[in-house]
Amino acid sequence: MKILVIHGPNLNLLGRRETGVYGAETFDSLNRRIVSLCSELGMDVEIFQSNSEGGIVDAIQAKPYDLLVINPAAYTHTSIAIRDAIAAMARPVIEVHISNIYTREEFRKHSYISGVSTGQISGLGTDGYLLAVRAAQTLLSK
Ligand code: DQA
């Protein structure tokens, strides 16, 4: 079983970017924890980051995966293109947000992605990705 993890724009700056909101863990450390948990659970994983909407749409369409874990970052609140790509692929999707998007600015409270996601994890910090991997294993074993 293969999971694709997609990180959207500016998430490559984790650990250096608004640490009061997104925490101190670096992007590399987070990705190492994802890879390590997937290996412990016996799942294949590919991790992809892009700052561009088209790059994310291309990855959703072209990369092989059974389940997608995606933090679309700012595109969460703007991208019908990413929503449509997810809908077209018809595979389980877990939407992750490090911060709680519902307790921040008004413009962050709407997600174009949640309507096509299997579920969403928001506000649990970078650990949210690890929880998504565990949920992925449960979903894929059904
Ligand atoms: C985010 C929340 C978004 O509103 C923001 O644009 C991000 C990160 C999060 O993980 O909390 O870049 O998706």
22 is catalytic: yes
Superfamily of domain 2-141: Dehydroquinase, class II (3.40.50.9100)
Domain ranges of the chain: 2-141
CB atoms within 10 A of CB 142: 5
Q: Which residues contact 72 (CB under 8 A, 6 or more apart)?
A: 6, 8, 56, 79, 82, 95, 113
Contact in structure between 124 and 96 (CB atoms under 8 Å): no
State the pLDDT at residue 107. 96
Of 22, 65, 75, 129, catalytic: 22
Polymer length of the chain: 142
Note the pLDDT tens digit of each residue in 104-129.
999 999 999 999 999 999 999 999 99
Note the pLDDT tens digit of each residue in 43-98.
999 999 999 999 999 999 999 999 999 999 999 999 999 999 999 999 999 999 99
Per-residue pLDDT at 28 exceeds 90: yes
Ligand 1 centroid to Cα of residue 64, in Å, is 25
Per-residue pLDDT at 142 exceeds 90: no
Q: What is the pTM of this model?
A: 0.98
What's the angle, vertex CA 37, arms to CA 36 and CA 39, rounded to 5? 65
The residues lining ligand 1, judged by C-beta closer than 6 Å to any ligand atom, are 10, 71, 73-74, 76, 97-99, 101, 108
State the pLDDT at residue 92. 98
